[in-house]
Amino acid sequence: MVEVISERPNHSKRFAHPSVHYTVVDSLMRYAEFLGYGDIHTKIDERTGLKAIVAIHNLKRGPAIGGCRMVTYQTIDKAMEDALRLGYMMSYKAAINNLPHGGAKAVIIKPKEIKDREAFFEKFGEFVNELGGRYITAVDSGTSPQEMDIIARRTPFVTCTSKSGSDSDPSPLTALGVCRAIEAAVKFKLGRESLDGIHVAIQGAGHVGYYLAKDLSERGAILTIADINIKSLQRCVDEFGAKICHPDEIYDVKTDVFAPCALGAVLNMDTIKRLKTLIVAGSANNQLAHHHYGALMHERGILYAPDFLINAGGLIHVAVIYDHGDLKKSVEQINNIYHTVYDIFERSLHENRATNEIAEKIARDRLR
């Protein structure tokens, strides 16, 4: 269902030509149908300047949960596409990690100026509340606990407030899940119980990459890191004794583990052929340029930890905090990524199938 909730006066001169409008809507509707969408809701409020989208992908497992992203978009259809893609991904993350939630994403199109910040986010809170608990909002790019506090004045369906006990930066929790997956992969592939002396090449020294490097260093791993940000690289050199390499050379480093923690679609025909690693496990979203490249790595004997499973630490945290208000319980569930991914490795070996295919099938079955 696509529902447009608008408080904007219906002045026809403000709309594009009907044929152009139809083409954009038709394309997005086809994309939503392809992804298996349930509800897509929009809110346009002229008084506050709010333009927001909530894409609810699936409700079979419970109320949908996903962050509220506020960034600049060139066009509204780009914002809608982003919401659809991210909401779909959240469903799979929740399902594979056995959370009692569906997936969703909220996107606020960042205006040039927010004249009344409190009224702006209160209006978004009203929008969330109108959905009757089918969507639970949380922090994402461009929002923080301060915005969640304002939203919470108008709806109880919000987490990541300053009083909720969840951190505004999910990076350490995302890194924890990836680190646990690396430990599981090293045990499965190399028969090693410890990461001491294991060589990990990390692509990207940003928020998650930095915390992953920290976790791995504390466990005795040897690190090689690539990033375009010199300051981020130097921080890892100073704190963890990491070696650095040129961003394009990271695929050629002979290593035990390759951890993509930057851009998506980095695993393609060319880069997979260049890899000199036994394990791929990182935090980046959509690492495979094509679904079938998981099978290519499987054929080459490279153990791949599916990204949407192992990078879900932030989602697990906000979901558990919302449901139980228990930080200890959220960390326990993030640690359980170790067992989930290890089971998938065993199934992959037994069935002789790519790990991403097995993980996706588990998620799809749970969403049905």
Helix (H) or strand (E) holding 360: helix 355-367
**Where does residue 103 fall: left (phi above 0), alpha (psi -120 to 50 degrees), or beta otherwise?**
beta
Sheet with 257-260, edge to edge strand ranges: 243-244, 222-226, 199-203, 257-260, 279-280, 303-304
Contact 341, 185 (CB under 8 A): yes
Place of tokens 């962050």: 67
As a whole number of angstroms, the distance between CA 294 and CA 266 comes to: 12
The most distant pair of C-alpha atoms in the chain lies apart, rounded to whole Å, by 67
For 252, phi and psi rounded to 5 degrees?
-95, 0
Of 177, 182, 230, nearest to 208 (Cα)? 177
Percentage helix, strand, coil for the chain under 3-state DSSP, each rounded to 5: 50, 20, 35
Instruction: Please tell me the distance from the alpha carbon of residue 255 to that of residue 276, in angstroms, as a whole number.
Output: 6
Catalytic residue among 43, 105, 163, 276: 105
DSSP assignment letter at 276 = B
Cα–Cα dist 142/366, whole Å = 31
105 is catalytic: yes
Could you tell me the end-to-end alpha-carbon distance of the chain, in angstroms, rounded to an integer? 18
Q: For residues 37 and 88, is the Cβ–Cβ distance under 8 A?
A: yes
Active site residues: 105
